[in-house]
Amino acid sequence: MAEPLAWQIATVRAIRAETPTVSSFTLELPAWRPHRAGQHYDVRLTAGDGYQAQRSYSIASPPSREGEVDLTIERIADGEVSPYFHDVVEVGDRVEVRGPIGGYFVWEPGLGGPLLLIAGGSGVVPLMAILRERAANGARPSTALLYSSRTFDEVIYREELDALAKRDRELHLLHTLTREQPAGWTGYTRRIDRPMLSDAVGAAGKQPLVYICGPTLLVEAAANGLVELGVPASQVRTERFGPTS
């Protein structure tokens, strides 16, 4: 059996803004272990009086990077942990983490494809780890990413996704902006629904492995819609965030 999961003190090595409310934090880990795309770390903050708050954040970086991981964290206005990262943490600070965690919502090149990845908001983070791992790997199964954001400026990794898709004909990006669209927007303009899911399955290819991550109600709608379209439930892996912020 694997070594027990222990808390360790990571050092923040870099902070990169992704959108106005989302940043990626590069953590250097003294007890780094290779992770699988889709896994997460738990982060624990301890106040002076001993009160602790703990949250899980998905790993955005691919497993091929040694000694450190990127966690992409959205600032939740009334959150206990994410505002600390966004408002207080600086490069060189130390934070308590444990991981990598999870053996179900994971993808490895050996699992193959085609892949259908569906994200709502910061639910794109573990899917980005999958896309980065896929890009780092020789074999690239046909893949579609259906990604729902509220506005254009809230699309996390937008430029990197565009760059990945530009040089990879097997990667198809389907964006929907549910609240506000820039002039000339050609993507979808509504919440994820059955016709959109049907398009995404068509773009990915037959019998896709499906990974869905986002707010609980979005995940429910997408997973149920896919099953109604004939995708076997056993092919659908989900990661639910809970209520929308």
Partner 1 sequence: MDDPLMLDANAVAGDLAELLGFEVTGASHRCGHCGNVAMMGTLLAWTHGPGLTLRCSICRDIVIRVVRTPARTLVDVSGAAYLEIISR
Which amino acid appears at position 195 of this protein?
P
Instruction: Choose one: 11-19, 75-83, 103-111, 134-142; the region binding partner 1 (CB under 8 A).
Output: 103-111
Which residue stretch of 67-75, 136-144, 202-210, 213-221 sits at the interface with partner 1 (rule: CB under 8 A)? 213-221
**Interaction between residue 5 and partner 1 (CB under 8 A):** yes
Residues in contact with partner 1, counted by CB under 8 A, come to a total of 27
User: Cβ of residue 224: shortest distance to partner 1, in angstroms?
Assistant: 10
Binding partner 1 (rule: CB under 8 A), the pick from 47, 90, 104, 186 is 104
DSSP, residue by residue, the chain: -PPPP--EEEEEEEEEEEETTEEEEEEE-TT-----BT-EEEEEEE-TTS-EEEEEEEB-S-TTS-SEEEEEEE--TT-SSHHHHHHT--TT-EEEEEEEE-SSS-B-GGG---EEEEEEGGGHHHHHHHHHHHHHSS----EEEEEEESSGGG-TTHHHHHHHHHT-TTEEEEEEESS---TT--SB-S---HHHHHHHHHHH-SS-EEEEEESHHHHHHHHHHHHHTT--GGGEEEEE--S--
Closer to partner 1 by CB, 186 or 234: give it.
234
User: Of the listed pieces 74-82, 83-91, 97-105, 151-159, which binds partner 1 according to CB under 8 A?
Assistant: 97-105
- The answer for 202, left when phi > 0, alpha when psi is -120 to 50, beta otherwise, is alpha
Considering beta carbons, is residue 98 or 140 the nearer one to partner 1? 98
- Judged by CB under 8 A, does residue 199 bind partner 1? no
Among 13, 150, 191, 237, binds partner 1 (CB under 8 A): 237
Whichever of 191 and 240 has its CB closer to partner 1, that residue is 240
Strand 236-240 and strand 143-149: the pairing is unpaired
Please identify which residue in 28, 68, 160, 220 interacts with partner 1, judged by CB under 8 A.
220
Chosen residue from 76, 89, 136, 217 binding partner 1 by CB under 8 A: 217
The CB-of-245 to partner 1 minimum distance in angstroms stands at 11
Q: Which residues bind partner 1 (CB under 8 A)?
A: 1-2, 4-5, 40, 42, 56, 98-99, 101-105, 215-217, 220, 234, 237-244
